[in-house]
Chains A and B, each alone.
Chain A
Amino acid sequence: MASTSSVGKVDSVVGPEDLASTSERAMKALSIMLNPPHVDVGTTPSEVVHAEDKLRLLHYLPLREGPAVSPPVLVVYALINRPYILDLQPDRSVVRALLAGGHDVYLIDWGSPSNGDSSLTLSDYVDGYIDRCVGAVLDRSGAPQLTLFGYCMGGTLSVMYAALHPDRVRNLVIMAAPVDSETDDGLLHIWSRREWYDADKIVDTLGNVPAEFMNLGYNILDPLLNNVGKLVHLTEIVDDDAAVLNYLRMEKWVADGIPMAGETFRQFLKDIYQENLLIQNRMRLAGRVVDLRRIDMPLLLVMGRRDHLVPPAASRPLLDAVASTDKESKEIEAGHIGLSVGSRAHRELWPAVAEWISIRSDARQPPETPTPGRARRGRPPRKERGGAVGLQTLEGLGPSYARRLDEAGVKDARDLASADLDALSRKARIPISRLKAWTGSLEG
């Protein structure tokens, strides 16, 4: 009787046809996992325009005819995993969304550090690699500033860069980046407390911190979902070829980790997660204080409400810490990765982000012949930028250029208009194209 009753209950839950179908799909899913087909990722055409050590700076080719929006957008990716999550597939590509908005897009692909890179510090990344990439983008585009777009840890690095070099950043877009660890919202913030997380021991033992080590931590954030749930999900979608390919692209990215330079890991863990120095303006890079109050450019903060890696509570305080008057946040129902590849994000978020940047950029114009001097929409000129009288409103004239002009004897607009631009370019170390644009602007 017991047996009959039991069978009856099973029948009422899973009918024989349902059982057969589930079993068949499970076998098919298993077969796919054991012999996954090749999947293409990061397919948006690009060219390498700068390379040093393991790093490659990619410049994406425009998707449409005509001039791009100026200034260009530089995407700073995290030092974890590979950046193609931002270009996973054509219909779920942040890069394409920006290109579709008419932007000129560059991206830093950090590459995979070797043991020889284990001594690299955050300063090497921020003041070294990122600064040189910014220089390469500005030189190439002719723009005096760029829009800096940082994702995850790359967002934190971008915040540091913007605080140290505000004159080179026109707009700042920060996506799912940890800047304040004073929260219990995410398990990573709890687990990484110094009482039980010995960053020194990890780095002293491992050198570079392997991807597998970090992935283990991410995996157990939601062990059931990551180890059972996603296999169940594959069984459910196994008859939908397109969905399976999407699934496999994501799996490829998850497994495609890179190690993190040991000293960078140590510093990031201690300064950001354990001591929470950044948000308190107490963090130092190569002796210089990273003061978030120096960030005064337009700021957009992008967050996922279901982000369990970097919960909004770890990002949101940035809005209050900066001096920007033009600042806002966008939150959607998405997780950390869903922000990049989710269908909702690509339907609702990314077109809006591309538009946000456009509004704070110049009208579309060829990158080679920018027209500085045009009043910036949404951003009043800052008088404190230019030391030279009458030059403050010139497009792209930050404190650095103002100082150089001043040192070269150019005190005001009249001096600039009458200067020998070739000689001034060499003396002040300012591109001739920029000087010509400024004088053209004055004449206009």
Chain B
Amino acid sequence: MTDKQGQIEGLMEAWFTLSEEMGRQLSQMTGPKAKDVGDIFGTWMEQSSEMGRTMFELNRGGPGAYTNMRKTWSEWSDRMTEQFSKASGSDRSGLKDIQDAWVRNATRMNKLLTEQATGQASAQMDRFAKAAEKQGATFKPMSSKDVQDISDLTTTMAKYWADNYSKVVGGIQGIIEAEGDASGKSKRIYEAWSGFTSDMMKEVMRTAAFSKWMGSMRDTDLDVMLQARRLSEETLRSMGSPTRSDMDEVQKSLKEITMELRSLKQSIKVKGASRPDVKGADAPKRKAKKN
């Protein structure tokens, strides 16, 4: 098993553990008081276990396991539909019980989810970061220079604000206190404010600190996108499905063939244009050579 498969299995295991625990808790909450609800969650839990196992197989087994997973999914879906149908159709009071239980338990479920998810999310982020690092990504903590750049940025903004604030506020105050019709004042105030803010932004955006900060943000986004794509490609590859890289390669080949074909057509066209000459004096000579 490769490291990547291990990572994927780790993620699946985490998800599965969380699902199973949720199912167990929910089943306990509802259990005897609302049988239908218990049935539903029981079914869900049972089928989740099956789904989890199938997903493990899928990760290892390729297309055959994919068929199994679809079968399991279909069974799960059918049984859940059946249980819901029974609960809502057979007994109105039973339905009320389900609704009460749902509202009551939703609060507890949210709490449980929050507790579980916080730990899980943190663990999953750790795993993701480790996986990404193994693939060469650099999620570096902020260096003292980065901190300095951001500090420069805020300093520039603060300085501009300090230098211009009183002038702008004074201008706006003057507009407010001016005698006469109020009509048009709001627009003049907006223009004074937007002009000031816009100029301040432009001043800040011209600094090297801003460009660095923006570049850093963009690079981080691209790193995350790249790693997410690599992980999804690994998953798709393990399922025997074509990946984006595969498709890109095929498209690139098609493009090259198309361009080659165009070039050949052009050559033929050019040769065709000069062919009448060949039919004249040159043609017999060529034939003679062949013979």
Could you tell me which A residues sit within 8 Å of B by CB distance? 9, 11-15, 18, 22, 52-53, 114-120, 124, 128, 184, 187, 190-191, 193, 195-198, 201-202, 204-207, 220, 222-225, 228-229, 232, 236, 423, 426-427, 429
Contact = CB atoms under 8 A, between A and B. Distances in A.
A201 B227 CA distance: 13
A190 B206 contact: yes
A205 B225 contact: yes
Contacts of B143: none
Contacts of B218: 202
B86 interface: no
Contacts of B219: 198, 201
A429 to B, nearest CB: 6
Given A224-B194, A426-B274, A116 B251 contact: yes
Nearest to A193: B211
A119 B214 contact: no
A427 B274 contact: yes
27 contacts: A9-B176, A12-B177, A13-B176, A13-B186, A14-B182, A14-B185, A114-B251, A116-B251, A116-B252, A117-B255, A118-B251, A120-B255, A187-B202, A190-B206, A191-B215, A195-B215, A196-B212, A196-B216, A201-B222, A205-B226, A205-B229, A223-B201, A228-B194, A423-B276, A423-B277, A423-B280, A426-B276
Contacts of A201: 219, 222
A232 B190 contact: yes
Contacts of B255: 116-117, 119-120
A54 to B, nearest CB: 11
A124 B247 CA distance: 22
A232 B198 CA distance: 15
A426 B277 contact: yes
Interface class of chain B by DSSP = helix
A116 B259 CA distance: 12
A190 B274 contact: no
A110 to B, nearest CB: 15
Interface string B244-255: 000110011011
A311 B225 CA distance: 33
Contacts of B181: 15
Given A205-B222, A207-B248, A429-B273, 15 more contacts: A13-B182, A13-B186, A14-B186, A18-B182, A18-B186, A116-B254, A116-B255, A119-B252, A191-B215, A195-B211, A196-B215, A201-B222, A223-B201, A232-B194, A426-B276
Given A18-B186, A229-B194, A196 B214 contact: yes
A13 B189 contact: yes
Contacts of A197: 211, 215
B182 A198 contact: no
Nearest to B250: A116
Contacts of B247: 115
Contact of A13 (B185, B197, B198, B273): B185
B141 to A, nearest CB: 19
A200 to B, nearest CB: 10
Contact of A118 (B248, B262, B280): B248
A427 B282 CA distance: 12
A67 B104 CA distance: 83
A195 to B, nearest CB: 8
B189 A190 contact: no
A118 B277 CA distance: 42
A3 to B, nearest CB: 17
B241 interface: no
Nearest to B175: A13
Contact of A224 (B176, B198, B211, B252): B198
Interface string B197-225: 11001100110000110111011001001
A13 B251 CA distance: 62
A201 B276 CA distance: 53
A417 to B, nearest CB: 21
Nearest to A423: B277
A117 B247 CA distance: 12
B258 interface: yes
B186 A224 contact: no
Interface in B156-187: 175-177, 181-183, 185-187
Contacts of B252: 116, 118-119
Contacts of A13: 175-176, 182, 185-186, 189
Chain B CB count within 10 A is highest, among A9, A118, A196, A223, for A196
A191 B214 contact: yes
Contacts of B189: 13
A426 B194 contact: no
B270 interface: yes
Interface string B271-290: 00111110010000000000
Given A197-B215, A426-B274, A427-B277, A222 B198 contact: yes
